[in-house]
Amino acid sequence: MVRQGALDGVEAFLSVARHRSFRRAAAELGVTPSAISQAVRAFEARLGAALFIRTTRSVGLTEAGARFLARAQPAFEELVAAGQGARELGQRPSGLLRLTVPPAVVPIVLEPLIASFCQAYPEVEVEIATSEKLVDLAAEGFDAGVRLGQFIAADMVAVPLTRPFRLIIVASPDYLTRKHRPERPDDLRQHACLRLRRSNGALALWSLSDRGRASEIAVSGPFIAHDFPTMLGAAIKGVGLAQLPEPIAAEALQAGKLVHVLEQFAPMAPGVFLYYPGRRQVLPKLRAFIDHVKSRAGAVTDKTGAHGPRKKG
C-alpha cells in the first residue's frame, strides 16, 4: 500500500542525483536551492535513510541513494511517459474509441459513418461491440453507445443519428397466402407473431397507435428472437408477422420479400441516438466522433429532438 505523500520529493531527489548539485537542480525545477534542500531532507526523513553525502564542494550518493536511484529513475520515467500519454489523449483525437451498438444498427447507420471517420481520424482506433444489452458505459469501459431513443436513460447526453421512424408490422407474401391479412389489431390473436426478448429477459410488447392513442399488446407465436436481424430473417421466411423498425425492413419491403400490414396502426419511434455520460467527460476522440456524426448524419428536424430522450449537460 502506497502511503500518502510517498512520491513527494522524488523529482527533487532525481534532479539532484542527476546534476550532483542542489543549485542546478533548483534551476531545472524552477525553485530555490533552499526549497530543494528541504524537499530532499523531508524525503530522507520519510524513508529513514540518508540519500546524499553533502560536502562544501560536492554532492554524492550514499549506498541507499544509489540503490533508490537505480529503481526510482526508470519508474519515474514511466510515470512521466504515462502522464504524457494521458495528456495527448486530452489534447487531440487519438486512442481507442469503444462503442456498444445493437447489431441491426451497424449496417444501416454506422458503417458509412465509421468508414469516413476512420479516414478522417487515422490516430483513433474504433471498436464496435455489438450487443442488445443495455450496458453500463462507465463500468464496462465504453466511451459511448447507440440505442433507440426510448431506451436511453434521461441522464445521458443524446445525439440523433436518424430521424424518427415508424415501427411497422410486416409479413412475407407467402405467409399471407396461408393466413388472412389482419385488418384490425384484434386480428393479431389469430396470427403467428414473432416476438423479441429484451436484454432484461422480458418479452417485448407490440406497440400500436390508433388515431394518436398509443397502446401495447402482448402477442403470441412460434418464434422468439433476441435481436431484430434474426426476427427480420424469420419474417422473410414466412414464420409469422413481425414488428420491426421501418429502416431495418426497408430493403426487404422494396424487394417484395415483405409487405406492410396494419400500416395505419404503426406508431412512431424517436429514432436511433448516440449517447454518452456527460459533456465534461468527453475526450477529443469522442468529441471528434460526435462532430463527425453531426456533420454526416444529415439534417435532423426539430421533431427528432422533441421525440428523443432528455439531454443533460
Per-residue model confidence (pLDDT) at position 186: 94
Q: Of all residues in the chain, what percent carry a pLDDT higher than 90?
A: 43
Residue 106 above 60 pLDDT? yes
Higher pLDDT: 176 or 281? It is 176
State which amino acid sits at residue 145: G
Residue by residue, what is the 3-state secondary structure of 50-80? CCEEECCCCEEECHHHHHHHHHHHHHHHHHH
Give 195-239 pLDDT, tens digit per residue. Answer: 999 888 899 999 999 888 899 999 999 999 999 999 999 999 999
Give the mean pLDDT of 86-114. Answer: 81
- In Å, how far are 20, 42, 47, 207 from 69, measured between CA atoms? 12, 17, 13, 69
- Dist. CA 277–CA 156, nearest whole Å: 5
- Other C-beta atoms closer than 10 Å to the C-beta of 295 total 11
Per-residue pLDDT tens digits for 32-47: 989 988 989 998 888 8
d(CA 313, CA 307): 18
- From residue 247, give the alpha-carbon distance in Å to each of 82, 163, 271: 44, 10, 10
C-alpha cell read off for 173: 407474401
Rounded-to-integer distance, Cα 66 and Cα 191, Å: 83
Task: Give the whole-angstrom CA distance, residue 164 versus residue 272.
Answer: 8
Q: Tell me, what's the pLDDT at 82? A: 66
For the residues 155-163, what does the mean pLDDT come to?
89
Question: Where is average pLDDT lowest: 81-90, 92-101, 128-137?
Answer: 81-90
Q: Which domains does the chain have, with CATH numbers?
A: 10-89 (1.10.10.10), 95-163+270-307 (3.40.190.10), 166-269 (3.40.190.290)
How would you write 125-148 as a 3-class SS string? EEEEEECCCCCCCCCCCCCEEEEE
Which whole number is the average pLDDT over 236-246?
96
Mean pLDDT, the chain, whole residue set? 85
| Averaged pLDDT for residues 19-43 | 90
Q: What is the pTM of this model?
A: 0.65
Q: How confident is the model at residue 307 (pLDDT cuts 50, 70, 90)?
A: very low
Residue 302 — φ and ψ, nearest 5°? -60, -30
Closest CA to 272 of 107, 88, 127, 115: 107
SS3 category, 273: strand
